[in-house]
Amino acid sequence: MNVKNIFSLFLVFAILASAAAAIAQTNVGDTPVTSQNPQTSALEILKQKSETEIAQKLNKINEFLVRINLLKKISGAQKGAIQQELQSLAGTLDALRTKIIADTDLATLKKDALEIPKSSRIYLLIMPQAAIISFSDRALSIAEAMEKISEKLYTRINAITDDEIKSSAQENLTIFDTKISDAKTKAQSAVEIIIGLKPDGGNQTILKANNAALKSARAKIKEADADLRSARNAAGEILKALKARSEIKVQPQGNGQSTAPQN
Amino acid sequence: MPKSLIVVGTLIAVVAVVTGGAMWWQYASTTEMPVEVDTASQQQEQPPLPKSTTLLLTTDDSDNTDGALETDVSILDRELSELKKDSDSIDQQMSAQ
């Protein structure tokens, strides 16, 4: 290859490379930002996506903060712990949203957007915690109301003179009381299981432990729910017995006997 | 062919290749969207949270007539229905795990 050919090759190479640079420069660099600019478009899309996701999370967190503030049966310390976690996460997400809104270049925005999945790891722990605590509070409130109903039923059952009806009603009252007690124990246990959990921070061992704890608490919740429904069914049986008894009317019988309402 | 011309041509080619390559790399890295913003929690619309409990039995705790007891139990039924929503809410939250 002579010198002339080498020079020609270099020249062609130079022209091609310059063309590539020219094409590339129409998309990035110091060109004015317009809506047609792919970088601007990507910036807007990612910004909108990030803002939407953060807003959804913040709405959910705020809903739980309102709900948890109204809980009655959960201890102040337990309420305070979960409220603090929720407020901290809300603060982090809010600061991230402010930063994302202010971002003007895609590289920074992408870096900030990557913080959302990181906060999601915390979100995915705190939100089930808040849901479990909310459930437990309602379950404990229902159990307390059932205990009051139990007292009323006890008085009514004691006044029954028909031994068979009384015995059956008492059995159901025992079931009622036992199920209420079991439900309370399980609801409280569910809260105790999840209240001390900390975000895993990417540690797989902690992540597994957290997931196992949440599942365990979830199982307790399901059992508490089933206990309360069993208690409700037992109360229904007692009410049926009481109602049937009071509906026995005085009826003239052929032998002159009558069946009177009992008690 | 003067030697100086070859040197200049070579320099132009090297500069153009380096510049072009850098520009393409920057263009490619900014137009692709590798950031996965979405998470499982965004994939499904979650229902609103159940309201806080407002469970109140009949005003008179000592009223144990059939009517009062039936009212109490109907209130329990309403709250147990809300409890089901709470339970569903936990499932929703945990399904995103």
Q: Check residue B81 and give its pLDDT.
A: 94
pLDDT at residue number A262: 42
pLDDT value for A87:
94
Position with higher pLDDT, B43 vs A186? A186
Establish if B1 touches chain A: CB-CB under 8 angstroms: yes
Residue B43: closest C-alpha in chain A? A53
- Mean predicted confidence (pLDDT) in B32-53: 48
In the prediction, which pLDDT does A135 show? 95
Q: Tell me how far apart the terminal alpha carbons of chain A are, to the nearest angstrom.
A: 122
- Judged by phi (left if over 0) then psi (alpha if -120 to 50, else beta), residue A256 lies in left
pLDDT digits (tens, 9 = 90+) for A197-219: 988 888 999 999 999 999 999 99
* pLDDT for position A168: 94
Q: Which of residues 12-41 of B touch A (CB under 8 A)?
A: 12-13, 16-17, 19-21, 23-24, 26-27, 30-31, 33-41
pLDDT of A255? 41
Report the residue of chain B nearest A61, measured CA to CA: B49
A-chain residues near B83 (CB < 8 A): 135, 138-139, 142, 225, 228
Which residue of chain A comes nearest to B13, CA vs CA? A14
Range with lowest mean pLDDT among A114-123, A151-160, A184-193, A215-224: A114-123
Q: Is the model's pLDDT at B67 over the cut of 90?
A: no
Query: Cα(A154)–Cα(B46) distance, rounded to whole angstroms?
Result: 42
Q: A3, B6: Cβ pair inside 8 Å? A: yes
Contacts of B61 in chain A (CB under 8 A): 148, 151-152
Q: What pLDDT was estimated at residue A107?
A: 93
Asked whether A68 and A93 are in contact (CB, 8 A), the reply is no
* Cβ contact A38:B31 at 8 Å: yes
Of A67, A128, A156, the CB nearest to B94: A128
* Mutation for testing the B interface, residue in A1, A6, A15, A28 having most B CBs under 10 Å: A28
pLDDT, residue A251, reads 41
Closest CA to A92 of A84, A82, A80, A103: A84
Judged by CB atoms closer than 8 Å, whether chains meet at A156 and B94 is answered as no
Return the higher-pLDDT residue of B51 and B66. B66
Does the beta-carbon distance from B86 to A211 stay under 8 Å?
no
Mean pLDDT score across all residues of chain A: 84
CA distance A67 to B51: 7
pLDDT at residue A15 tops 90: no
Contacts of B44 (CB under 8 A, 6+ apart): B92, B95
* Residues of B in Cβ contact (< 8 Å) with A131: 86, 89-90, 92-93
Q: What is the 3-state secondary structure (H, E, C) of chain A?
A: CCHHHHHHHHHHHHHHHHHHHHHHHCCCCCCCCCCCCHHHHHHHHHHHHHHHHHHHHHHHHHHHHHHHHCCCCCCHHHHHHHHHHHHHHHHHHHHHHHHHHHCCCHHHHHHHHCHHHHHHHHHHHHHHHHHHHHHHHHHHHHHHHHHHHHHHHHHHHHCCCCHHHHHHHHHHHHHHHHHHHHHHHHHHHHHHHHHCCCCCCCCHHHHHHHHHHHHHHHHHHHHHHHHHHHHHHHHHHHHHHHHHHHCCCCCCCCCCCCCCCCC
Confidence class for position A36, pLDDT limits 50, 70, 90: low
* Token pair recorded at residue A243: 């109602």
In chain A, what percentage of residues exceed pLDDT 90?
62
Calculate mean pLDDT across residues A84-103: 94
Higher pLDDT, A24 or A186: A186
Q: Is B63 a residue whose pLDDT tops 50?
A: yes
Per-residue pLDDT, A46: 94
User: What radius of gyration, in Å, describes the C-alpha atoms of chain B?
Assistant: 36
pLDDT in tens, A119-166: 888 888 999 999 999 999 999 999 999 999 999 999 999 999 889 999
CB contact under 8 A, A128 and B93: yes
Rounded to two decimals, the ipTM of the complex is 0.71
Distance, CA of B83 to CA of A179 (rounded, Å): 16
Dist CA A68 CA A87 (whole Å): 12
Contacts of A81 (CB under 8 A, 6+ apart): A195
**Partner-chain contact B57 A145, CB within 8 Å:** yes
pLDDT at A250: 40
Q: Which of A39-43, A203-207, A221-225, A238-242 has the highest mean pLDDT?
A: A221-225
| Distance from the A151 Cα atom to the nearest Cα atom in chain B, whole angstroms | 9
- In whole angstroms, give the CA distance from residue A231 to residue A35: 64
Chain B residues with CB inside 8 Å of A29's CB? 23, 26
Structure tokens belonging to residue A71: 């809980």
Greater confidence, A53 or A246? A53
Q: Quick one: pLDDT at residue A19?
A: 55
- Non-local (6+) Cβ contacts of A84 within 8 A are none
Q: How far is A131 from chain B (nearest CA, A)?
A: 5
Query: Which pLDDT score is estimated for A258?
Result: 37
Mean pLDDT of chain B: 70
Distance from CA of B97 to the nearest CA of A (A): 6
Give residue A106's pLDDT band: very low, low, confident or very high (50, 70, 90). very high
What chain A residue is nearest to B70 in terms of C-alpha separation?
A239
**B23, B36, B42: best mutation site toward chain A, by most A Cβ within 10 Å?**
B23
